[in-house]
């Protein structure tokens, strides 16, 4: 079954979900140094925090975050991945994860999850810049979140 999302008015949410978001905010602002401290400050168990933390987001924050997954075939030469990452950074893309295969026949597949919320221009422009880099044989979007 596909994941489903709901926008729910705050006063209808269970206390554990509200407190999870409060604890996450304390951690984001640096007002609590650890999950234990943040959970304790808002009156939430750590187990409840970990149960809800990856599924609770303020709607305004969730709409700003955009994650794209890119798959690329890169030549096995020094500096190619570095150029790719530099291009992403220069366009305000924030790399979240990188997975690279072992090079076969001179090419390595690299899959990168990228936060695109602050990218200059649109993702198609970034993709065109990546494809133009020396050593990039293929680059395409495999998912968006």
Residues 114 and 95: beta-carbon distance below 8 Å? yes
The CA-based angle 46-52-53, given to 5 degrees, is 80
Answer yes or no: do 138 and 120 share one domain: yes
Average pLDDT over residues 2-11: 78
Nearest CA to 141 among 121, 107, 117, 116? 116
Domain end (from 24, 43, 63): 63
Answer yes or no: do 86 and 59 share one domain: no
pLDDT band at 63 (very low <50, low <70, confident <90, very high): very low
Q: How many domains does the chain have?
A: 2
End-to-end CA distance of the chain: 17
pTM for this predicted structure = 0.56
Average pLDDT over residues 53-70: 72
Considering just the CA atoms, what is the radius of gyration of the chain in Å?
19
Residues 26 and 38: beta-carbon distance below 8 Å? yes
Chain segment 23-60, per-residue pLDDT in tens: 998 988 889 899 999 999 999 999 999 999 888 877 65
């Amino acid at each position: 079954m596909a994941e489903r999302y709901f926008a729910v008015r705050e006063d209808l949410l269970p206390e554990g979900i509200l407190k999870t978001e409060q604890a996450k905010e304390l951690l984001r602002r640096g007002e609590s140094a650890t999950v234990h401290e943040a959970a304790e400050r808002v009156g939430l168990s750590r187990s409840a925090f970990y149960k809800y933390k990856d599924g609770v987001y303020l709607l305004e924050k969730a709409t700003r975050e955009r994650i794209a997954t890119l798959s690329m075939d890169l030549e096995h030469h020094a500096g190619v991945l570095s150029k790719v990452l530099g291009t992403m950074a220069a366009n305000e893309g924030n790399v979240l994860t990188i997975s690279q295969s072992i090079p076969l026949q001179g090419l390595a597949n690299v899959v990168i999850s990228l936060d695109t919320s602050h990218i200059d221009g649109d993702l198609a422009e970034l993709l065109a810049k990546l494809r133009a880099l020396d050593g990039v044989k293929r680059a395409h979007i495999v998912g968006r979140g």
